[in-house]
Amino acid sequence: MTEATEELPPAPETAREVFGDRFPDAVRYAELLADVGVTRGLIGPREVPRLWERHLLNCAVLSEAVAEGVTVCDVGSGAGLPGIPLALTRPDLRITLLEPLLRRTNFLQEVVELLGLDHVTVVRGRAEEVLGELQPVHVVTARAVAPLERLAGWGVPLLRPYGEMLALKGDTAVEELKSARAALSKLGVVASSVLHVGEGIVDPLSTVVRAEVGESPGGVRFAAKRAKAARKGPRRRR
């Protein structure tokens, strides 16, 4: 056992409530993050003592904002946040973990197989690269990937009509949304808001920016790009 793993605190009681039957899997995931997640550079060693509150639970409560039985693409999934906690709490979802870096996708695939997450698929690539290859989804999620305006440019085109992007943000959420509204409108976003989830579970509450699209997510330019990519067929990746 590595020093980082020894620093992992016990799971709080709220984690049992949130993860239910998958609580042992959530513990195993936390252990993996604290161990190989640190040694492979997926998370910083200073994050280990606050893995539960700041990372796993902070991401798991996003499920409050996700409708039942929808498809989800977690853009820039990294070490699997928020995609893996969301998958552990919501077996009704079909989730794609989208990540461009090989060492991260290797880790994600190992976690998916180890925890038996049959409703989760790992895809290596950038959002702009897989446009037209992945089936449009109901929901795009992201956490700590990029400023909202840039993130929306990657994530919104992956949505199906009337889908929504849910971006976990911090204290700057309101300011980011205000400055990004013009860009969001050009991408086909018809409604946007800031919501807080996780009452009684996390403190402070998790802050989420919700961006809902209309009939043409990503705007006309992205719709044309997606159609062109679909006609070419799947892209080979070495």
Q: Which residues are annotated as a binding site for S-adenosyl-L-methionine?
A: 76, 81, 127-128, 143
Q: Which residues are annotated as a binding site?
A: 76, 81, 127-128, 143
d(CA 167, CA 23): 24
3-state DSSP of 50-62: HHHHHHHHHHHHH
Nearest alpha-carbon partner for 87 in 109, 110, 118: 118
Label residue 231 exposed, middle or buried (CB < 10 Å: 0-12, 13-18, 19+): exposed
Q: How far is CA 103 from the centre of its chain?
A: 17
Burial class of 87 by CB neighbour count within 10 A (0 to 12, 13 to 18, 19+): buried
Distance, CA of 95 to CA of 111 (rounded, Å)? 14
